[in-house]
Structure 1
């Protein structure tokens, strides 16, 4: 009898997905949430689960235990005096008795909620590891061959995660990791919307990703979504939304003590917002902060995957963009050249995009021959990249080159038309 009652608490704890150590930590969080001064040690939890009879929790501990496990204390294996027995019945019928009440048949309902009884397989740490590898590979796919194949890959991963969440059996910790990965996927879809020119679709994915990241309480993930939202808001001509996203990203980064790489990404987005607004003093201030953060990234050993693209070449590129917006293409050219030289081989899509930008700015700076040479490099190397944004930039170069009367420009235009036709088929 005593053994059955003692094991009941352990069974409920394990059904909730807790070790003794994690249960103690969760107990403290629940007590704080309820505003109750109560705690439990691992030693005391072991006594509750193993001694016969187990020592009775004090009233504050009782309230927290009942809130955590969803059953009255008596159903956890404790001998509870009559004046401490919690009623099981509708809250509206509790009358003057100030007790926590539970739905009838609480024990059975709680067990089914804590341990999903579904026909699907059980998801564990090994499965999470495989999904994480597939998710992390999205960055490589996007950087090397573009957002179109990455989007197809992301849809397959999202299908696997949503199927697991809806039909598999898993602990609360595994469920949280699945939801976190789903939030990351929404963030990826937001970027693919930006790269594909589907701005409203991207903004919708951003909002979905933000909600999901908030639900799993992951501030760094929220920042990654906000930095994409900045780009989408700029494209949608919603400057106020882009500015608010930057401010919220700074706030979250400060709150969690984010490292210099994350701050570098935010500073670059800050510069984007100021540049588009024509606030060139503000852009210079943001770029100055970016330089400071970039100088410290070598010591940043814990940068998240989504921020690792940021480096000196991104600062140079943002500086060049400021000069382009200020109608000073000649001043932009050296920064764009440095950006093209500095970008690594793992970023083929961005490398091609930056070269097209350099070629276009060289045209504006009346350096047509060099501009066409840069464009030729892109056309020779971009065959395996599928990125609507890159293709749009190439078409923009073609339109500008069509206005020039020189053989190099005509040749570039013809080759770009050929690439565009191939992408359309």
Structure 2
């Protein structure tokens, strides 16, 4: 084995375990399991896995362990010696903000991102006039890596800086499909990867308030899934269509799409995936005002979630952490008019998210504010306090959904504008949006 192929020991994690936690590997594994249970994650971490982490045999743990270790140590994955996967071949240009120096400087990375510089996901096609030529495994990996990059940045910063980048990457992938040369095996993989990229682009369109574009992209992904005989992609596309239908006020369509997603997903061996789609169905029933069907779907979602993560969970599902489970339930409760339960659920969602998924934390914090403002016994001061926390996410998080949520918060608080805390918040909100601090 060449030296460069040998695992590199993770001395940072070992130092944290030995010096800070003062634990053996077995004790540390037990602490990981305990922390996981506290977060609603049932994991089977043992001393062997901890040894693999420290010996460098595992350079980056699964998403569920990333969440647990971040919560346990209060550090990022990089700070405790793990290396997050990087695109291969690189999907981001060398002139962009994601080079080695930027990885060490989050402030610079955010500044580049929010200025819109260097966000192009440059799949290695070459000039527009150049024929793609032979397409193989490296191109498929490039498309898949682009999807991973999009989701990672979207979770932290929202869709606004990424939408155009996704569209350009998808255009390149379609060019490869239409004019490239490849084997039938590569075609199937490339079509599935491109469908996954279409889903990611559709999500960014949805988050940016472009429902028509999102619907078209999800439809393209569904077609790609069926051509490639890819049930994972088919279930994902159905789930996204359910989310979009609910957002557009079409509950029956949302329910049907969620049930379609569950039908496909039952063969995939992922209880967490089925849980998400059950919660999507709950959202549709709630929008119809059917509390009995909503409760049944919510119970099913929680039961499935409690079965824990598994190897069959798709990578994109990493966002479906306990905080998201609580958050989706709170949205259903809100649609049923159960405002006190919705407010409590939204607070729980924000708490469980910790420091991860900034955009989702911002949205659920906005829900907290709205529910406090519209409940049977309004609490305007609590609503204003939560609303103030939402403004703190701007301008780093840029999402049209978040801006719409802030608009809804302002509308809900307007009736309480004689309360000093509310009046102060409304003034701050108007000043922030007037100066462009929250614009995409």
Q: Does TM-score exceed 0.5, indicating one fold?
A: yes
Is 1:337–2:347 an aligned residue pair? yes
Tell me which of 261, 286, 289 is aligned to 1:275: 286
Tell me which of 165, 183, 186 is aligned to 2:195: 183
Tell me which of 211, 228, 252 is aligned to 2:240: 228
SS in 1 for 2:370: helix
Is 1:412–2:425 an aligned residue pair? yes
Partner of 2:148: 136
For residues 120 and 289 of structure 1, the distance between their equivalents in structure 2, rounded to whole angstroms, comes to: 47
Partner of 1:167: 179
After TM superposition, the structure 1 = structure 2 runs for residues 384-395 of structure 1, keeping only pairs within 5 Å, are 384-395=396-407
Q: What is the TM-score when the length of structure 2 is the normalising length?
A: 0.66
Q: Deviations over 1:72-109 (max 9, x none)?
A: xxxxxxxxxxxxxxxxxxxxxxxxxxxxxxxxxxxxxx
Tell me which of 200, 203, 207 is aligned to 1:195: 207
For residues 330 and 276 of structure 1, the distance between their equivalents in structure 2, rounded to whole angstroms, comes to: 17
**Which has more radius of gyration?**
1
Tell me which of 310, 316, 321 is aligned to 2:331: 321
Q: Is the 8 A contact 1:280 1:322 kept in 2?
A: no
Tell me which of 239, 255, 258 is aligned to 1:246: 258
Is 1:379–2:384 an aligned residue pair? no
Q: Is the 8 A contact 1:180 1:212 kept in 2?
A: yes
Superposition deviation, residue 348 in structure 1: 0.6
For residues 286 and 120 of structure 1, the distance between their equivalents in structure 2, rounded to whole angstroms, comes to: 47
Equivalent pairs counted in the alignment come to 306
Superposition deviation, residue 119 in structure 1: 4.8
Tell me which of 372, 377, 380 is aligned to 1:368: 380
Is 1:288–2:318 an aligned residue pair? no
Q: Greater share of helix residues, 1 or 2? A: 1
For residues 375 and 265 of structure 1, the distance between their equivalents in structure 2, rounded to whole angstroms, comes to: 28
Superposition deviation, residue 292 in structure 1: 0.8
Q: Is the 8 A contact 1:275 1:322 kept in 2?
A: yes
Superposition deviation, residue 245 in structure 1: 0.9
User: Which stretch of the first structure deviates more once superposed, 132-141 or 268-277?
Assistant: 132-141
Q: Deviations over 1:103-125 (max 9, x none)?
A: xxxxxxxxxxxxxxx95432222
Which segments of structure 1 move beyond 4 Å, counting only runs of 4 or more?
A: none
Q: Deviations over 1:5-28 (max 9, x none)?
A: xxxxxxxxxxxxxxxxxxxxxxxx
Q: What is the TM-score when the length of structure 1 is the normalising length?
A: 0.68
For residues 125 and 224 of structure 1, the distance between their equivalents in structure 2, rounded to whole angstroms, comes to: 23
The runs of 5 or more residues in structure 2 that have no matched partner are 1-129
Q: Is the 8 A contact 2:208 2:399 kept in 1?
A: yes
For residues 149 and 120 of structure 1, the distance between their equivalents in structure 2, rounded to whole angstroms, comes to: 27
Q: Is the 8 A contact 1:287 1:315 kept in 2?
A: no
Partner of 2:318: 308
Partner of 2:170: 158
For residues 341 and 147 of structure 2, the distance between their equivalents in structure 1, rounded to whole angstroms, comes to: 40
User: Which stretch of the first structure deviates more once superposed, 210-219 or 238-247?
Assistant: 238-247
Superposition deviation, residue 314 in structure 1: 2.5
Q: Is the 8 A contact 2:413 2:422 kept in 1?
A: yes
For residues 283 and 367 of structure 1, the distance between their equivalents in structure 2, rounded to whole angstroms, comes to: 27
